[in-house]
């Protein structure tokens, strides 16, 4: 998985820079989302993996499925570049990285807060406000109840994680005792 993201990142960044210059972030977001959906189809994955199919045939299938209304010259060039390097299977990852870049540009973040018990509205409001303040962005929070945590919360925003659960505390105690 990490390798696919590494492959996808330069393509997503190039598409993002171009879309930003053209003031077309939403358009490119929509197109890349559609292309990712096409690429992730099981039949399409088999087609893309077939070595007897030419790069042109592979791009032509994307073009026909996407439809001419959604296909600009730049999108066609983008597909051609991916096909030339054998990277059409990375479209889902390209779309994901593009969406991360777009969210960052728009100062939007996604967070996940897992707690052992369901949080009340006041707790959710305080946590949401704290995250908005910490990151200086509009943080969209998904709340998850996970009784396996025993007590406490786990907060994830991108790579940033705060793990303050009973399970973590028990594991730290166990590690301290073992040494």
pLDDT at 164: 80
Q: For residue 151, give the DSSP letter.
A: S
How does residue 70 score in pLDDT terms, banded at 50, 70 and 90?
Answer: low
3-state secondary structure of 174: helix
How does residue 148 score in pLDDT terms, banded at 50, 70 and 90?
Answer: confident
CB atoms near residue 15 (< 10 Å): 24
Q: Which of 46-55, 123-132, 143-152, 161-170 has the lowest mean pLDDT?
A: 161-170
Q: 3 — phi, psi (to 5°)?
A: -65, -40
pLDDT at 39: 93
Q: 167 — phi, psi (to 5°)?
A: -60, -45
pLDDT at 34: 93
Give the DSSP H or E segment for 110: strand 108-115
* Average pLDDT of span 11-33: 93
pTM over 0.75: no
Q: 92 — phi, psi (to 5°)?
A: -65, -45
């Amino acid at each position: 998985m990490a390798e696919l993201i590494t492959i996808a990142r330069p393509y997503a960044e190039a598409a993002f820079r171009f879309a930003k210059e053209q003031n077309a972030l939403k358009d490119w977001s929509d197109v890349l989302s559609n292309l990712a959906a096409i690429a992730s189809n099981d039949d399409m994955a088999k087609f893309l993996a077939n070595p007897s199919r030419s790069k042109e045939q592979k791009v032509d299938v994307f073009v026909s499925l996407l439809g001419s209304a959604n296909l600009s010259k730049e999108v066609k060039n983008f597909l051609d570049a991916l096909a030339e390097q054998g990277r059409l299977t990375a479209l889902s990852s390209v779309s994901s990285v593009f969406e991360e870049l777009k969210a960052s540009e728009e100062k939007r973040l996604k967070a996940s807060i897992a707690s052992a018990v369901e949080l009340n509205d006041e707790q959710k409001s305080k946590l949401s406000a704290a995250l908005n303040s910490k990151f200086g962005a509009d943080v969209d929070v998904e709340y998850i109840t996970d009784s396996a945590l025993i007590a406490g919360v786990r907060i994830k925003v991108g790579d940033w994680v705060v793990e303050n659960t009973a399970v973590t505390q028990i594991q730290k105690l166990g590690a301290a005792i073992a040494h």
